[in-house]
A = this chain, B = another copy of it.
Amino acid sequence: MLPRRPLAWPAWLLRGAPGAAGSWGRPVGPLARRGCCSAPGTPEVPLTRERYPVRRLPFSTVSKQDLAAFERIVPGGVVTDPEALQAPNVDWLRTLRGCSKVLLRPRTSEEVSHILRHCHERNLAVNPQGGNTGMVGGSVPVFDEIILSTARMNRVLSFHSVSGILVCQAGCVLEELSRYVEERDFIMPLDLGAKGSCHIGGNVATNAGGLRFLRYGSLHGTVLGLEVVLADGTVLDCLTSLRKDNTGYDLKQLFIGSEGTLGIITTVSILCPPKPRAVNVAFLGCPGFAEVLQTFSTCKGMLGEILSAFEFMDAVCMQLVGRHLHLASPVQESPFYVLIETSGSNAGHDAEKLGHFLEHALGSGLVTDGTMATDQRKVKMLWALRERITEALSRDGYVYKYDLSLPVERLYDIVTDLRARLGPHAKHVVGYGHLDGNLHLNVTAEAFSPSLLAALEPHVYEWTAGQQGSVSAEHGVGFRKRDVLGYSKPPGALQLMQQLKALLDPKGILNPYKTLPSQA
């Protein structure tokens, strides 16, 4: 249980969210909502093959014999009903649509192996799909690739209550795993807006970052082992559950972040940190981005090892979550807002550290207003303001999304730059993200417009490359970003990527048209 709020904090922190009772009262399931955008009645998404200049590669098409073979491999797990295939053909942002005619729902690694062996022999392309919550179109077919869903591979295989090592199938939903390990006094090392739908296999395949990255680091460090089925059906067993293992090349690393293009992850072994006994969240208003940065520096010094998240959002983000989701700001209107989370083992110590920090931040003018939460309900409400920005944006119109890594001191400049550059052509230009140097830059418009796109690209990528930044910090490459990799990766690295793909998937059947640049 979360501890009660201690007494040391300034009085202004103890008041409730102003005029927000109505909005706060509603149950907030930020991540379950990830699915609700594909509600019936919304206009049909254009086919990817018609909207983008992409040509089908010479894969075979699924025959009756193939379907019969699949039915033998996964009895009852072959979906061909056009109605049922609509949702898995469309991405969460509803801007890409494939025309796959078959979706397979294996339950075991062996079934995945048999499926891939068949597809490899028959030269059939395969699109692995977890929760289908990705932002770059990596999880939906571009043409008629077979969709291989991990949805039924959702068993926890083991959990070690001393070490916190969890071994589970790839299709386990992140939020369910969180619940499972929290009941055992641990937490998942990652958390993200899509947790109610996303699968752990998809998280690993896309090297998901998210909200706990600041504290618990990358999946390259927390994933201990993987079982992966290779393109030809070979099961590659790298499923150790050891914290240290230097017996040769760390092969599992190849598959973390490779978006299903080198193999299909079927089982994951991951290290879960102990559940913190005390969690506090502060939501603060800052007068400018310079103050956001200085608050972060101060915070790192004064909160040290208990700092578990530091997120920021600008005033327009707050307006949009207010307008589209009816969430009211818990603090006075400010140019910027920050959300600070602490997690520790001693509630009193944490409260004292946080109290000192907040007094200092307020006293020195870094922060102009704020609110605090320690009880789980209010903690969730404050987090919802940040986590549901994506959803608010998707209700604002067509969204141009960029997920950039930049030097922290330049993190917000591109937002200001774009507002000036686009003027009234954009509905809104917003910036929010993580103070580990990751900006989520979003531009909304009433509808897709080629001229607005031309004003944005390649400008945003060139600007990012000019800062030695990354054009994809955590969302990955998928279909959308594959031709902009060159802004962040030199030719030698792209060539080695192609060589690895050719080594592991010589026929190119795994998630084609994704991750690697389209051939010139």
A14 at the B interface (CB under 8 A): no
A250 at the B interface (CB under 8 A): yes
Report chain B residues within 8 Å CB of A246. Answer: 206-207, 209, 257, 470, 472-477
Stretch at the interface among A16-24, A97-105, A346-354: A346-354
Cα of A162 to Cα of B241 in the assembled complex, Å: 35
Report chain B residues within 8 Å CB of A276. Answer: 304-305
**B-contact bits for A484-511, CB 8 A (1 contact / 0 none):** 0100111011101101100100000000
Stretch at the interface among A63-71, A190-198, A215-223, A393-401: A215-223
In the complex, the count of this chain's copies comes to: 2
CB distance from A169 to the nearest CB of B (A): 19
Cα of A477 to Cα of B246 in the assembled complex, Å: 7
Interface residues on A, range: 35 or more
A130 at the B interface (CB under 8 A): no
From B220, B237, B253, B490, A490 is in contact (CB under 8 Å) with B237
Cα of A249 to Cα of B500 in the assembled complex, Å: 9
Among A213-242, those with CB < 8 Å from B are: 213, 217-218, 220-222, 234-238, 240-242
Report chain B residues within 8 Å CB of A472. Answer: 245-247
Cα of A222 to Cα of B217 in the assembled complex, Å: 8
Chain B: which residue is nearest A469 at the CB level?
B242
From B236, B245, B408, A488 is in contact (CB under 8 Å) with B245
A405 at the B interface (CB under 8 A): yes
A217-B221, A437-B244 known; A304 and B274 CB under 8 Å?
A: yes
Contact B346 A304 (CB under 8 A): yes
A276-B304, A345-B304 known; A220 and B250 CB under 8 Å?
A: yes
Chain B: which residue is nearest A207 at the CB level?
B246
Chain B: which residue is nearest A490 at the CB level?
B237
Report chain B residues within 8 Å CB of A166. Answer: none
**B-contact bits for A47-91, CB 8 A (1 contact / 0 none):** 000000000000000000000000000000000000000000000
Could you list 14 A-B pairs, sorted by A, with CB under 8 Å?
Answer: A213-B243, A220-B220, A238-B493, A240-B468, A242-B468, A246-B257, A247-B489, A248-B493, A251-B497, A253-B254, A277-B304, A305-B344, A305-B345, A306-B345
Counting from the closest, the 4 A-B pairs by CB-CB distance are A221-B221, A304-B345, A253-B253, A245-B470
